[in-house]
Structure 1
Amino acid sequence: MRARAHIVAEADGRGGTRLAVLHGESPLLLRRTGPVRDTGVTVHLVGGAAGPLRGDELRLDIEVGPGARLEMLSVAASLALPGRPAPASRLTVTASVAAGGTLRWLPEPLIAASGCDHVAVTRVAVEAGGSLLWRDDLVCGRHGEEPGDVRADTLIRYAGTTLYRHELAVGPRAPGWDGAAVLGGARAIGTLVAAGPDHPSSVRTSGPLSAPRSHATAAPSSVPTSGAHGGLSSHATAAPPSVPTSGAHSGPSSHATAAPPSVPTSGAHSAPSSHATAAAGGRAAVMPLAGPGWLATAVGDDIREVRAALDPLCRRPLSPVPA
């Protein structure tokens, strides 16, 4: 199956947002939802058919113009299935956000069913002055089953510069994916990237991520970190340049050092302070990126643990930040 969906959000000239293009093809169906409001619009992605299945080629293109505000959700989790003998299924998502625009991408998780072979490619470009909140969750197999093969390849650029570059592979063809260097035995993982003026990196963390008083340091931006073969490879995280990480990068379960007692870990909504904050057991962390934004990531035995860590960071309403 081949399908393409396309959405273009533009400022309506009255302080609101209009959808200039809202086109979908099964299984990528788009529906505007929620009340009409001045602050932005919400669109749900609806699965019009099972899948993705092997052999499927799916594409979603998102454009957010200057002054427009768009929130993208989905009505249910996406289930990658094996299907007939065929090449890997592929979903390519591209997004562009103009200066003054805002995009919040908060879909339900992708579930890697046993026997699937799926590739998820994400390419996001945000102009200087644009704002982005981008979340991806992955569940490794349904209840009681081993996962199939999934490879997620994500690139987010801000103001023409790479902000976040990440690749994750799980399943039988990714040796070590469930080992300590990648998911550490976890069955679910979530990542949340925030960038732009709506998400200042100076705001301190709150909620589950600040439970223990510890701070995890991320590598300097000039030194990319890498995990085991087939695992996490993140080139975007940056810490104070004089404090390199210790040990091999292990994705969400990164090494942590004790927090200085004078550095609080609780406070206003969402983003990190100047250090990354580790959650209980080192299974979630939030850290500044080498640019105007931050990264939060969490792993868990099931998606409920991931949601407990990341959902509080996504609850900010779709409205402009006061000047």
Structure 2
Amino acid sequence: MNATTGVRATARILARGDGRGGTSLPVLAGEGPLALRRTRGGAGEARVMLVGAMSGPLGGDHFTVRAEVADEGRLRVGSAAATIALPGQTKRAARYDVRLDVADGAELHWLPEQLISARDSDLHVRTRADLAAGARLVLREEQVLGRAGEEPGRLTSRLTVRIAGRAVLDQELSCGPGAPGGWDGPAGLGGRRAVGQIVLVRPEFGTRPVAARVLGDGAVVVPLAGPAALVSAVAPDALRLRRVLDEALSSLD
């Protein structure tokens, strides 16, 4: 690392069915601040925890996480703590890229803790999930704008989901100083400081799509153009956002 280029780090996970009803992890490799730990799983599922070994990402850093689930494997990935985007010595933006690939008959639960945009930070997050036609996915994203009592940094987050090569979701959120006008107005977050979404991909949604509806205050569920559904929510803080998303997910099970 240096003040000009920042930290470059990549973490890789490969999960695959072991042919005996379980899931093996032939690849589990992290670099620098991206440490991976296998934890106790169950019912044929492998579980991995992403452990941040240092603060960040800072300005100029570029983190990449890649997870692939093959051969009818089942994988659940979480993180040990929230990720905090912080300002660095350089004025360059930080980047955090997530790439997920799920094969036919495989299943991935991608459930990291919140991403917090601290004051004066500048972070670009890019998440892309590519799924085969018979894959299953639960993907949760939560963003918190500022720590307690502080204004947020600049956060740009793009989420793309493709099923069998077809895009079913491609959305971008930009918040904080320098973001397009109106992001915090009545048509945007309305002064709330926590925003999140859950993407559900299930083959049965192809014949029994989810009905669009409001899920209490600040949350909606809508069907996507494929065997998938999207829950979007805003809340005053991270605790209430998690509660809303958990309730939404339970209502769709």
**TM-score, normalised relative to structure 2:** 0.92
2-side partners of 1:64 and 1:192: how far apart?
Answer: 19
1:138-188 Cα distance to aligned partner (Å, 9 max, x none): 000001111000100111101111011110011111122111222121100
1-side partners of 2:104 and 2:60: how far apart?
Answer: 37
2-side partners of 1:304 and 1:120: how far apart?
Answer: 22
Contact 1:128 / 1:196 at 8 angstroms: preserved in 2?
Answer: no
Alpha-carbon shift at residue 279 of structure 1 (Å): 3.0
Contact 1:106 / 1:134 at 8 angstroms: preserved in 2?
Answer: yes
Alpha-carbon shift at residue 287 of structure 1 (Å): 1.2
Counterpart AA for 2:27: V
Distance 1:201 1:185, change over 3 A: farther
Q: In structure 1, what is the equivalent of residue 15 of structure 2?
A: 9
Note if 1:298 corresponds to 2:233: yes
Note if 1:279 corresponds to 2:188: no
Contact 1:201 / 1:294 at 8 angstroms: preserved in 2?
Answer: no
Note if 1:120 corresponds to 2:125: yes
1:240-274 Cα distance to aligned partner (Å, 9 max, x none): xxxxxxxxxxxxxxxxxxxxxxxxxxxxxxxx742
Alpha-carbon shift at residue 38 of structure 1 (Å): 4.0
1-side partners of 2:140 and 2:206: how far apart?
Answer: 17
Distance 1:158 1:42, change over 3 A: same
Which of 75, 83, 87 is equivalent to 2:88?
Answer: 83
2-side partners of 1:198 and 1:129: how far apart?
Answer: 9
Q: In structure 1, what is the equivalent of residue 65 of structure 2?
A: 60
Which of 158, 162, 171 is equivalent to 2:163?
Answer: 158
Contact 2:210 / 2:229 at 8 angstroms: preserved in 1?
Answer: no
Where in structure 1 are there 5+ consecutive unaligned residues?
203-271
Q: In structure 2, what is the equivalent of residue 312 of structure 1?
A: 247
1-side partners of 2:250 and 2:11: how far apart?
Answer: 26
Contact 1:194 / 1:293 at 8 angstroms: preserved in 2?
Answer: yes
1-side partners of 2:79 and 2:206: how far apart?
Answer: 26
Distance 1:201 1:110, change over 3 A: farther
Q: CA RMSD in A?
A: 1.8
Identity %: 44
2-side partners of 1:109 and 1:38: how far apart?
Answer: 27
Name the one with the larger strand percent.
2
Which of 188, 191, 197 is equivalent to 1:191?
Answer: 197
How many equivalent residue pairs? 245
Q: In structure 2, what is the equivalent of residue 289 of structure 1?
A: 224
Alpha-carbon shift at residue 25 of structure 1 (Å): 1.1
**TM-score, normalised relative to structure 1:** 0.72
Note if 1:49 corresponds to 2:54: yes
2-side partners of 1:98 and 1:89: how far apart?
Answer: 30
Which of 25, 40, 48 is equivalent to 2:31?
Answer: 25
Partner of 2:222, secondary structure, is strand
1:9-39 Cα distance to aligned partner (Å, 9 max, x none): 011111110001000012111111124x342
Which of 69, 77, 85 is equivalent to 2:74?
Answer: 69
Equivalences for 1:191-270 in 2 at 5 Å?
191-197=197-203, 202=208
2-side partners of 1:25 and 1:91: how far apart?
Answer: 14
Where in structure 2 are there 5+ consecutive unaligned residues?
1-6
Contact 2:105 / 2:135 at 8 angstroms: preserved in 1?
Answer: yes
